[in-house]
Amino acid sequence: MKLVIAADHGGYNIKEAIKAALATQGHEVADLGTDNGVDSVDYPVFAKALCAEIKEGRAELGILCCGTGIGMSMVANKQRGIRAAVLSDTFSAEMTRRHNNANVLCLGGRVVSEAEAVELALLFVATPFEGGRHERRVAMMED
């Protein structure tokens, strides 16, 4: 699967852990930065770039990481065609794909550990959209 990942300085460490785990599973992962966890950067720049990759069809799913995941999700959800979910538990990671067809996962490097972030990302990527009755609801979000 073609994936895209990006982070600000607060999410850099979990971004790196997630990227490595996804690559070992054979996913193609485009990393849009940031390149370190020290220099302060503006998360909206990275969120908008990641969403553009999905909207333009160069990636199927995306993962955004910042300190809490909240800022990234707020920016992402303002982009037409993006359904971003910020979460920190496995049930939500699965259900946001199954029922909401989320195409962007947002995680907080100050909220979840690297191991938890990897677990959530792998589950998010592996879970398919159920379709059926959920298709109508997802379509309503796009109106």
Question: Residue 143: its pLDDT value, please?
Answer: 73
Q: Is 134 designated active site?
A: no
CA distance 106 to 94: 13
Assess whether pLDDT exceeds 80 at residue 2.
Answer: yes
pLDDT at 24: 97
| pLDDT band at residue 22 under the 50/70/90 scheme | very high
Q: For residue 38, which phi and psi values (nearest 5 degrees)?
A: -105, -50
Q: How far apart are CA 9 and CA 16, in angstroms?
A: 11
pLDDT higher at 143 or 12: 12
| Domains of the chain in sequence order | 2-142 (3.40.1400.10)
Q: What is the pLDDT of residue 80?
A: 95
Per-chain mean pLDDT for the chain: 96
Provide the pLDDT for residue 132.
86
Q: Using 50, 70 and 90 to split pLDDT, how confident is the model at 142?
A: confident
Instruction: Give the amino acid at 47.
Output: A
Distance separating alpha carbons of residues 59 and 94, to the nearest angstrom: 20
Active site residue 106: no
Catalytic residue among 51, 66, 106, 134: 66
65, 99, 106, 134: which is the annotated catalytic residue? 99
pLDDT tens, position by position, 30-83? 999 999 999 999 999 999 999 999 999 999 999 999 999 999 999 999 999 999
CB of 122 within 8 A of CB of 3?
no
Q: pLDDT value at position 38?
A: 95
